[in-house]
Amino acid sequence: MSLLSVESLDSRHGLLQAVREVSLEIEAGETLALVGANGAGKTTLLRTLAGAHRPSGVRITFAGRDVTRIPAHQRVKLGIALVPEGRRLFPDLTVEENLRVATAAGRSGRWTVDEVLETFPLLRPLRQRRAATLSGGEQHAAAIGRALMTNPKLLLLDEVSLGLAPAVVEDVYRSLALLIEAGTTIVLVEQDLTRALGVATRVVCMLEGRLVLEGGAGELSREQVTSAYFGLARGAAT
Contacts of 223 (CB under 8 A, 6+ apart): none
The pLDDT score that the predictor gives to residue 215 is 95
- Residues written for the chain: 238
Ordered by where they begin, the domains of the chain are 4-229 (3.40.50.300)
The pLDDT score that the predictor gives to residue 233 is 58
All residue ranges of the chain with pLDDT < 70 are 1, 57, 233-238
CA distances from 214 to 23, 141, 192, 230 (A): 11, 29, 17, 15
pTM to 2 decimal places: 0.91
The pLDDT score that the predictor gives to residue 146 is 95
